[in-house]
Structure 1
């Protein structure tokens, strides 16, 4: 079984630095409304970036294998937090936007479906605590 180690170190005030198995570090900070300075990623929002990144990597790889690459690709993730503490995402919407002059809708749909249902571990983690909705948007260039 594979394991990952991430070390997160308090820097000052509400700021933390976290490493990554890739060797790249990032800064997390609370917003001013929570006593921070807003000089880093917010931890909960970073989870949404992880979701988009995980699925995006799958989709790009799959489209390449299917010979259905696109000119532009964007993922928008919108999430709703619960009102009570501990606040967590209970509803998440993932919008996949593809742009090209020669879109291949069936291959795009297949790539997204494979990521969502089979390959993206972060998506599976989100499904354990949130209602996840997926939508695909095709834009002709």
Structure 2
């Protein structure tokens, strides 16, 4: 990856497009937003793949992230609470939690920060009727 200095931050280009990074939201994504998005994106993607392999019928998944930062230590991220809302048919809560644990063990982003950022995951299921 290659990043280039611009007036109000940095820019890089990926196959999908350009990414602007800045400490000021007016000029790009803030670094902490990208960190949280990476963790949510990885965790959610791995969890989804596991659910698909087990043929769990999920019609929608929403993940909310609440971030706790420490202003006395350079505003470092100390905790991220991920709350999964799973909508689908015949959802077994015990199986969902087990799959979430497997996803956690296989998400490279969570594994990369697990010694420095506390990741807390909760799950809510919404059973749909046909």
TM-score range, shorter chain: 0.7 to 0.9
In structure 1, C-alpha distance between the alignment counterparts of 2:2 and 2:28, rounded to whole Å? 16
The number of residues matched between the two structures is 128
**Structure 2: gaps of 5 or more residues:** none
In structure 2, C-alpha distance between the alignment counterparts of 1:19 and 1:75, rounded to whole Å? 27
Correspondence 1:49 to 2:12: no
Correspondence 1:130 to 2:117: yes
TM-score (norm 1): 0.80
In structure 1, C-alpha distance between the alignment counterparts of 2:57 and 2:47, rounded to whole Å? 10
> What is the CA deviation profile of residues 93-121 of structure 1, one whole-angstrom value per residue up to 9, with x for unaligned ones?
111110124323233222211011x2011
Structure whose residues are more often strand by fraction: 2
CA RMSD for the aligned pairs?
1.8
Question: 1:69 Cα deviation (Å)?
Answer: 3.2
The residue aligned with 1:139 is: 126
2:57 and 2:89 in contact (8 A); partners too? no
The residue aligned with 1:17 is: 11
**Structure 1: gaps of 5 or more residues:** 1-5, 32-36
TM-score (norm 2): 0.86
